[in-house]
Structure 1
């Protein structure tokens, strides 16, 4: 078993609010600025993107968590001020950018939210307290969500005159349906644990004191299955929405043929 990575020299992203620990086939990514309720910044997004690029190939399951009372209170509000965040462009400066520059900048931010659904990984978000805006979308970036009974999701972007642009709109719509997704985003209202579990937004809701244990139990269950079978199944399910019934049956047959031959030791 690999020793957890806790040395700041070995985990260089801590200064930007992200800590990575590796324990064999499990990686734990922690938002580690609890005094700021894990408010997000472009520096945090760059750190999260780097974590995704640099994960060892041995990692099969990634657990995302937030330190402190809140998973993430969303975007650092300094981005809305004239002073901004030192070294980063504020919203007024972004708005004044050329189209290509602005598009590329937002795409670079989105990278922090997209790698969690890679086919070679299964990702779990353990969410407590507030998960607002960018925090909500980061939880949506994961494959699975375990929530504490005190969780409060909210998509505040529309209330601020913006749109959710960190890759959260598609998974939200897939999880709860178009009408409910529109209502959640357009009103910016709070979604608690009971509703999250009932609508499929959360896989499981547990008392706050049990959140870490429940998420790790789920990770252990995922690690118990053969990796190749989990990857094939994830790819099948990810593509199901874009296929017809017959196309999905065909994809199942092709995937199963690969599995049977792999298990029998028969190459291509």
Structure 2
């Protein structure tokens, strides 16, 4: 029986990448310790839909344990123009609940639908991987939130981030509000969301939305260089460090000191080959 694990092992032996997913505007290719998730509908500027979100969630579930870095990229001139406008028609998407149908459901039903959509955006911050969004052109609404779902963002000089949900009478509900506030602060996050304005490359880099801004022709190379730098450090040290940093905002100073001590003790024992 052929399994995902056996395919990956075969590819590792041959030093060849393996495609584990290619459907609904999403592909997943694993090349040893690096996985690449690509949005593959450039004709629609990688507009998003529930089917795409399910494919993204599936991509996360298919990652083999060998993967340490996940790159999220998109084909075409835009990273993602946000939610497909078909969502705003009375019919919505074929086979999916429309907005009117969602509105008529119970609180629990509506909450469950939105929670399922959010699954596409949550796994990118797992402690066992570091995720990098390679962002070009427009990253609007759900596209902005997908870029924010990743740990790091490398952007092109023509990038335009915008959170347009509030302008449409909605709110950003695809997990983007927490990382946005963490990166730029409450006041700037409120202003960006409430006005729906565009954030261009210079501001994105200055405020921390972008870790790096490069010319479009250098985007892939810059992401590859960053992935290589991340892979240079021992995996367990990166995992422990990421967990420390992710939890820092929710801990007091003394709690963070204690967490650092516990993490360092684990690393010292591991390096010395002493079991806990």
Aligning the two structures, in what range does the TM-score lie when normalised by the shorter sequence? over 0.9
Alignment of 1:107-146 (within 5 A): 107-146=115-154
For 1:64 and 1:209, locate their aligned partners in 2 and report how far apart those are by CA, in whole Å.
17
8 A contact 1:73–1:131 mirrored in 2: yes
8 A contact 2:23–2:55 mirrored in 1: no
For 2:275 and 2:140, locate their aligned partners in 1 and report how far apart those are by CA, in whole Å.
48
Superposed displacement of residue 15, structure 1: 3.0
Instruction: Tell me which residue corresponds to 1:22.
Output: 30
Superposed displacement of residue 65, structure 1: 0.4
Instruction: Tell me which residue corresponds to 2:103.
Output: 95
Instruction: Note the residue ranges of structure 2 that are not aligned, 5 or more in a row.
Output: 1-11
For 1:94 and 1:132, locate their aligned partners in 2 and report how far apart those are by CA, in whole Å.
23
TM-score, normalization by structure 2: 0.94
Q: Does 1:219 align with 2:227?
A: yes
For 2:149 and 2:86, locate their aligned partners in 1 and report how far apart those are by CA, in whole Å.
24
Secondary structure in 2 matching 1:87: coil
Instruction: Tell me which residue corresponds to 2:175.
Output: 167
2:253 to 245, 252, 258: 245
Secondary structure in 2 matching 1:85: coil
Instruction: Note the residue ranges of structure 1 that are not aligned, 5 or more in a row.
Output: none
Superposed displacement of residue 250, structure 1: 1.1
Instruction: Tell me which residue corresponds to 1:3.
Output: 16
8 A contact 1:79–1:89 mirrored in 2: no
2:40 to 15, 32, 40: 32
Q: CA RMSD in A?
A: 0.9
Secondary structure in 2 matching 1:217: helix
Secondary structure in 2 matching 1:49: helix
For 1:78 and 1:97, locate their aligned partners in 2 and report how far apart those are by CA, in whole Å.
20
TM-score, normalization by structure 1: 0.96
Superposed displacement of residue 260, structure 1: 0.4
Deviations, residues 139-158 of structure 1 (Å, cap 9, x unaligned): 00000000000000000000
For 1:96 and 1:130, locate their aligned partners in 2 and report how far apart those are by CA, in whole Å.
33
